[in-house]
A = this chain, B = another copy of it.
Amino acid sequence: MRERRAERLEALGWRTGDAAAFLGLSAEEAAYVEVKVRLAEGLRRRRAALELTQTALAEAVGSSQSRVAKMERADATVSLDLLIRALLALGATRHDLARLLRGR
């Protein structure tokens, strides 16, 4: 039987599979990152819906423009805690958070 693509690539020294496998993330780390990215996207959409700049949002939640930018980029230096606090400050409910985690 003809060799599958993944096996052929691996024979050449390539890592195959999804982004997590490529980056060497555990399933847990991958799940964590996905949760963070979803909250980050949710924050950006919510801010856009309110037609706020990052600076305006920063003022509203007592933070800084640079940190808001990092939140929305799901930067590694931003905790889920801060992301969730920011979303709640924009009026998100726990149901909204649930929707962000479930959705797509």
Q: Which residues of A contact B (CB under 8 A)?
A: 28, 31-32, 34-35, 38, 79-81, 84-85, 88-89, 93-95, 97-99, 101-102
Contacts and interface: CB of A to CB of B under 8 A. Distances in A.
24 contacts: A28-B85, A28-B88, A28-B89, A31-B88, A31-B94, A32-B84, A32-B85, A32-B88, A34-B94, A35-B88, A35-B94, A35-B97, A38-B94, A79-B81, A80-B81, A80-B84, A81-B81, A94-B102, A95-B102, A97-B98, A97-B101, A98-B102, A101-B101, A102-B102
Nearest 8 pairs of A and B residues by beta carbon: A98-B101, A98-B102, A98-B98, A79-B81, A80-B81, A94-B101, A81-B81, A31-B88
Binding site secondary structure of chain A: helix
